[in-house]
A = this chain, B = another copy of it.
Amino acid sequence: MELAMIGLGRMGANMAERLVRGGHTVRGYDPGEAARQQAEARGIVPHANLQNAVAALPTPRVVWLMVPAGQVVDDTIAQLRPLLAAGDMVIDGGNSNYKDTQRRGAQLAEAGIHYIDCGTSGGVWGLAEGYSLMIGGDADAVARLQPVFATLAPTPQTGWGHVGPSGAGHFAKMIHNGIEYGMMQAYAEGFAILKHKQAMDFDLGALAEIWRHGSVVRSWLLDLTADALKRNPQMDGIAPYVADSGEGRWTVAEAIDLNVSAPVITLSLLERLRSRDDDSYADKLLAAMRNEFGGHAVKQG
């Protein structure tokens, strides 16, 4: 197929290249000249403005958005809107909030434009190994886009699927990331306990390597963790500071809205918040309280 990839950052450029390798024609737009030049070197047809990229497409047009979630998506859609016609398809492959997706989808549907949400997992490894794609939106449009999804996924038949109505793809990706937080935290806690058992002097990378084969906890995350532990077992030079990109928060909020208790996913998020607060007011106040009632000395800080 022929399509435009809007946004040639790390994810967008990688996905575009995987499509090019799969025989598709990909027109790429990015406001950054360097990004466009690198894209050209990877077989993508570069465009310096969005209008030209879209105008060059055959109809029905296929436009894939790979831009930061939030306002940028709305802005990009506003720019695209006058360039598109009924029957065209816009895919949001980013980590948008599913409620935004539902709103955008309803607006574009008024003009007959199909808005497809594609939750995309795989990270920097997706170029080589393929992406896992959770797709929401109109079934007919998804069916027409089958060649694109089949190329992006690990194999034409696996790793992608239509999971529900508009927003369902981003909803599923949100939950995917919530699970990811919980799994990561479980591994991190386990290795931290092992690390603190100094009497046993575990080689964590070697142990992770053992677990990669035949154990109940084997996983792709463990494969990556084993690599990280072998290269840098002391985690030298890495601050105990864990960012979060928003989907964990949405998962926690959604769970509460649905009256589902999800303590492990929730605590995984809170631990990340805690990692970024190295001067906890709560902990200071606790120390002060202990001093108040028990006369326990506080540590000077």
Contacts and interface: CB of A to CB of B under 8 A. Distances in A.
Contacts of A172: 194, 202, 207
Highest count of chain B CB atoms <10 Å: which of A153, A160, A187, A280: A280
B213 A262 contact: no
Contact of A132 (B179, B180, B218, B253): B218
A140 interface: no
B129 A240 contact: no
A179 B168 contact: no
A215 B160 CA distance: 10
Interface residues of A, number: 134
A283 interface: yes
Contact of A182 (B182, B197, B218): B182
A48 interface: no
A33 interface: no
A254 interface: yes
Contacts of A151: none
Copies of this chain per assembly: 4
Interface stretch (A38-46, A79-87, A105-113, A264-272): A264-272
A274 interface: yes
A216 B264 contact: no
B214 A287 contact: no
A66 to B, nearest CB: 14
B221 A124 contact: no
A185 B300 contact: no
A235 B300 CA distance: 10
A147 interface: no
Interface of A: 10, 121-126, 129-134, 153-155, 158-161, 163-165, 167-168, 171-172, 175-197, 200-203, 206-207, 209-222, 224-225, 227-229, 232, 235, 237-243, 249, 251-256, 258-296, 298-301
